[in-house]
């Protein structure tokens, strides 16, 4: 790559980083809105519980606590899905951009090797093939790694959901 190509690539990379920073800011804003809603709900629940406790209405207090537990489980599930969605979007975008840059590096390397073939006598074609195969294998490994990471994340989410489901069923059976 010549100097102009490097500068263009650096400018493109700077724009991508700027875009990522905005995506992260938007994600933080979205998640903080959920946190604010959670705090507001907690304050409302605490106020209702305090009123019931002040009136010495233990039955209503118990009902409020049970309802709060159910609502909390629902909100946790919604929040989990929102976080996963935000992280998945950011991760997919980052992986796509990384893959694009790896392809540029690979193409640059192939171009350099083709240029070097004409200058290096003998086994330059074999060296070129080895480097080309290695870069192709690296690209395939990156794609497979992405698939594995997504599968692990999905399995972890499924396990968490099953655990929460079992916990709520256990609470129902003990009552």
Each residue of 4-31: pLDDT tens digit?
888 887 888 788 878 878 877 887 888 7
User: In this model, does residue 122 exceed pLDDT 70?
Assistant: no
> In which band, very low, low, confident or very high, does the pLDDT at 121 lie, cut at 50, 70 and 90?
low
Each residue of 30-46: pLDDT tens digit?
878 877 888 888 888 88
- Whole-model pTM: value is 0.45
User: In this model, does residue 117 exceed pLDDT 70?
Assistant: no
User: In this model, does residue 83 exceed pLDDT 60?
Assistant: yes
Please give, one letter per residue, the 3-state secondary structure of the chain: CCHHHHHHHHHHHHHHHHHHHHHHHHHHHHHHHHHHHHHHHHHHHHHHHHHHHHCCCHHHHHHHHHHHHHHHHHHHHHHHHHHHHHHHHHHHHHHHHHHHHHHHHHHHHHHHHHHHHHHCCCCHHHHHHHHHHHHHHHHHHHHHHHHHHHHHHHHHHHHHHHHHHHHHHHHHHHC
- Locate the domains of the chain by residue range: 14-174
What pLDDT, on a 0 to 100 scale, did the predictor assign at position 125? 66
Q: What is the mean pLDDT of residues 40-58?
A: 79
């Amino acid at each position: 790559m010549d100097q102009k190509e490097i500068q263009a690539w650096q400018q493109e990379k700077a724009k991508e980083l700027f875009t990522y920073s905005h995506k992260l800011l938007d994600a933080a804003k979205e998640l903080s809105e959920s946190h604010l809603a959670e705090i507001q709900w907690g304050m409302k629940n605490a106020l209702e519980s305090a009123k019931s406790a002040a009136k010495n209405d233990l039955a209503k207090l118990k009902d409020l606590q049970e309802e709060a537990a159910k609502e909390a489980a629902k909100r946790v599930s919604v929040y989990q899905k929102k976080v996963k969605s935000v992280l998945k979007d950011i991760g997919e975008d980052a992986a796509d951009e990384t893959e694009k840059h790896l392809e540029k590096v690979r193409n640059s390397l192939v171009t350099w090797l083709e240029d070097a073939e004409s200058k290096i006598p003998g086994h330059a074609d074999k060296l070129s093939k080895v480097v080309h195969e290695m870069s192709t294998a690296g690209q395939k490994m990156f794609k497979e790694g992405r698939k594995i990471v997504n599968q692990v994340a999905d399995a972890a989410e499924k396990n968490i959901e099953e655990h929460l489901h079992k916990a709520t069923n256990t609470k129902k059976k003990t009552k």
